Structures are given as structure tokens and as C-alpha cells.
Structure 1
Amino acid sequence: MSKKLDKTERRILEVLQQDGRTSNVELAQAVGLSESPCLRRVRGLEEQGVIAGYSATLNQRSLGLQVTAFVQVQLEKHDDQKTQDFLVQVAREEHIIECHAMSGAYDYLLKVVAQSMDHFSEIAMQGILQFPGVKGIESSFSLLTVKQAAPLPIGD
């Protein structure tokens, strides 16, 4: 169930998506509130789960992760236990940074980062292909990131 946001809450979310480290004083000024009501609004948005957390955006390449692959995974069967075992392995593999259950020909789409093509090959062949229930994978590689981690549209 989505919460109907008022104009002030939408503005708070816009500012925090641009800079999650904005102080409450700066945030209050930006949205036209005094500090205490602003902090109450932010806490309320956190408690309702609208604000899910705060994090730093890291530069993947500066960390030596030169390869980004999107891996489509097809499972053998849709057995509950095998699916759970597969998802446990996905969660354990730190180089899988996103996992989406999909409609269509493939069951899951994984976003995988790796140091090199050889490193990706190791992750795919000794890792993903060996995960419980995996029938096959198909990988595509990002040549250029055009847009990433864009702010969510807040709406009216």
C-alpha cells in the first residue's frame, strides 16, 4: 500500500535522494520548515518504510571492478526448495549486486560486477552455473553506463 505524500514530504525525498548526507538544518531550510518538524517528518518517512536507508555511492571502476554483466538465469524446475537454495547462493555471492525475479523466458536477472573477463568467467562457471537448480545462463555485458541509480520519481 503506497502512502499519499504531501508536497513537503515529496520535497524532503527529492532533497535526500540528491544528497543523503544533507543535515537536518539544511534540509529544513530547503523544504521551508523549522528543524524539529522537519526531523519529525523524516523520522515518520523512515518508520513508514518510504525511506529504506542511506548509503554512499561508490565508483565501481576505482574499486577495480571493470566488468558489469547482466546474467539471465533459467532454472530447471520451479521447486520451492531448489529456488530457495538458489536464492541463498545468490545472496552469498558478493559480486552479484542485484537479483530480479523476471517474467518471460528467464527466471532471474542478475547484475554481476567483476575485476576482469577471466574473473567473471570464474564467477559464472564455478559459481552461478553450479547454483542449485540452474539449467542455464545467458550473459550480456555493459559497454557504457548511460544512467545509473537515478532518483525515483516522487509524483504528486
Structure 2
Amino acid sequence: MAITIEKRDERLLAALQKDGRATNQQLAEEAGMSTSACWRRVQALEESGVIVGYSALVNREKAGFAMAAILHVSLERHDTKYVEEFVARVTARAEVLECFATTGDADYHLRVVVRDMKAYNAFLDDFIFRLPGIRHVRSNVILKEIKSGMALPFSPGTTSAGHGPGPRRKGSAAS
């Protein structure tokens, strides 16, 4: 089902991104909608695939994953067989949080988390370097996460903490 994202949807999605556990009443207030309209719209956004799920944000270091890295992977060949196998095997690995097919000096960029350097070395030796069709792998170990998030910028120019010009409520002077 195709859906057109309207301003009220952006306000609703921004509120959900800020607090995925917000009640329908809280979401309705944030989006400037009635609770019944809000509930129906959330259902429509879920059914259309705009909202794909809900999850908890976990501090990786406090959860025991002390090391993170970005891997830049280049393939020797781009035959469908090699690409499909690479994608299938990489997406099946829990250590790989994100995988992007990109332009530029590498074909794929992977964000990987592991418990320590020993685990990272094992991940490379036992998995990455054994994948067929790999030409080159370059690693950048993440020393410090400056900003990490998943929220889409429905209100560009605002800060991540929600400061600055935020979503406008129905009936405000600028509506």
C-alpha cells in the first residue's frame, strides 16, 4: 500500500523516533491529532512499511562490545553469484550492524561491533578473509563515537536533542 507522507506524519514519526514507547495519547499531542486519528495513522504507516519496527537503543560499550570498526570491502568480481553470496553471508552475521553498497574506493562499507581486539581479529581471519571474491579490505577502528543515531531528520536544522525549531502544532502562529 503506497502512502503519502504529510506534515502530520512527519510530526508523528519524529515523536516516535524520539520515544518509541510513547503512548498513543502522547503521540497524538505531539502530532496535533486526535487519539483515534493518531492510532489509525500509525497503523497505516506500519502497514505501508514506513514504520518497519520498534527496538531499544543499547549502549554497546556498557553491553560489553568495546570495539567497533568500519570495514571498506572491495570485491574482485561483481558477478551475481559473488555479490549475492557476499550479501547473504554478511547480512547473516550478528557482528555486522550495517552494510552499504557504495560508490567510491570500496564496493561495500560495513559497521561491525565486537567485544574486543581478539574477537575482531577472529572475525576478520575466520570470516571476512575467507569470503570468496574479496579483493581488498581496509579497516578503520572507531576510537570514539561522536554521534550515533537512526532518527531521520524530519525537522532539518534542529538539534538531535530536540532543541531549536521543532515540529509545529496545529493552530500555532506559523501553521
TM-score normalised by the chain length of structure 2:
0.82
Aligned: 1:120 with 2:120 = yes
Name the structure with the higher helix share.
Answer: 1
Paired positions, count: 155
Percent identity reads 36
AA at the equivalent of 1:69: A
The 5-angstrom pairing of residues 93-112 of structure 1 reads 93-112=93-112
Whether the aligned pair in 2 keeps the contact of 1:83 and 1:132 (CA below 8 Å) is no
The residue aligned with 1:130 is: 130
Q: CA deviation at 1:32?
A: 2.5
Mapped to 2, the partners of 1:6 and 1:155 lie a distance apart of 13
The residue aligned with 1:33 is: 33
Q: CA deviation at 1:4?
A: 4.3
Mapped to 2, the partners of 1:4 and 1:153 lie a distance apart of 17
The residue aligned with 1:57 is: 57
Mapped to 2, the partners of 1:146 and 1:51 lie a distance apart of 26
TM-score normalised by the chain length of structure 1:
0.92
The residue aligned with 1:89 is: 89
Mapped to 2, the partners of 1:3 and 1:44 lie a distance apart of 8
Structure 1 segments of 4 or more deviating over 3 A?
none
Mapped to 1, the partners of 2:118 and 2:30 lie a distance apart of 48
Q: Secondary structure at the match of 1:100?
A: strand
Q: Secondary structure at the match of 1:72?
A: strand
AA at the equivalent of 2:86: F
Runs (5+) with no aligned partner, structure 1: none
